[in-house]
Structure 1
Amino acid sequence: MIKKLKILGIILGTCLALYVAWYVYRFIFVEDISMVPKEEYISKSISPDKAYTIRFYRANGGATVDFAMLGIMENKDGEKRRMYWEYPCREIKEVKWTKDTVTINGTKIKVWSQVYDFREGIYEAE
């Protein structure tokens, strides 16, 4: 009976370690911000011409890491794109729109054509 409990403990411990390793890997190495969970809706910002809307979500990393902020842009046709990921970030302090760009907390991004990821900086959207 004790041998079976030890084997079960080893299996469960291995599964837990693999689960934690996968989430650490996704957070540090996976460059696609589509993997970022959107958890708590914070606010939205609409462009002056009403062509684009950005909705901001705060992701809670748990007790060991800080909050991250995710911005999802939607055009007037209903297409959505994850375009902003800041870590650590607890709140969106400013959003300024111009004709071709949006500035979020001091980061200037071209509307619909660029993505900001705190690990990589600004890059062209796919």
Structure 2
Amino acid sequence: MSRVYKSNGSAKVNKGSFKRILIKLLKTILMLILLFSFFVYWLFFDINRLPHGEFLKESLSPDGKYKIKFYLINGGATTAYGVRGELCYKNGLKIRNIYWNYPEDKADVKWINNHVVIINGHRLDIFKDSFDFRKESLKRLIEKLRSKKQKFPGMWLRERIL
């Protein structure tokens, strides 16, 4: 805080500088929270950071322009296998993960047309969709909680009080 001294020797606190310092501090804290959140997402939830795995099989699209390679991911001694599918474009320059499911050890693939595929019962448009079991399990939990059959946790207490 900066102080402004009067001619009689008394000090008066300049409130404008205090607000500026407080705003800078809040901006810094917000920026750190955002950076930390991005780091956690990148570390734990980014589908492009999956382990490579052991080659399982590959499937070509009907027109032969796209190929999906499937890999078996060994989770270690205490977890089951998972399957990762990566989409490879014909020129080989672009590769992206479109499928990640756990627990699973096989890949049943059926192409509907040149850009829609069904992998183990999950329908994907290869241009805009991807399947990640970590995100899907969260979606199912939210849908279950929102359904009329399943009440939100803590609702029983509210019903007993009212």
1:1-126 alignment to 2 at 5 Å?
Answer: 30-78=44-92, 79-92=94-107, 94-99=108-113, 100-121=115-136
* TM value normalised by structure 2: 0.54
Which protein shows a greater Rg? 2
The code of the aligned residue for 1:117 comes to D
CA–CA separation in structure 2 for the residues paired with 1:44 and 1:111:
15
CA–CA separation in structure 1 for the residues paired with 2:134 and 2:55:
22
Identity of aligned residues (%): 38
Deviations 1:11-31 (A, max 9, x none): xxxxxxxxxxxxxxx8xx721
Over 3 Å off, 4+ runs? none
> Which protein has the bigger strand share?
1
CA–CA separation in structure 2 for the residues paired with 1:89 and 1:114:
20
- Please state whether the residue corresponding to 2:55 is helix, strand or coil: strand
Preserved contact between residue 98 and residue 126 of structure 2 (Cα < 8 Å): no
> Which protein has the bigger helix share?
2
The code of the aligned residue for 1:113 comes to K
- Size of the aligned set, in residue pairs, is 93
| Larger RCO (CA under 8 A, 6+ residues apart) | 1
Unaligned residue ranges in structure 1 (runs of 5+): 1-25, 122-126
Deviation at 1:63, TM superposition (A): 0.8
- Please state whether the residue corresponding to 2:68 is helix, strand or coil: strand
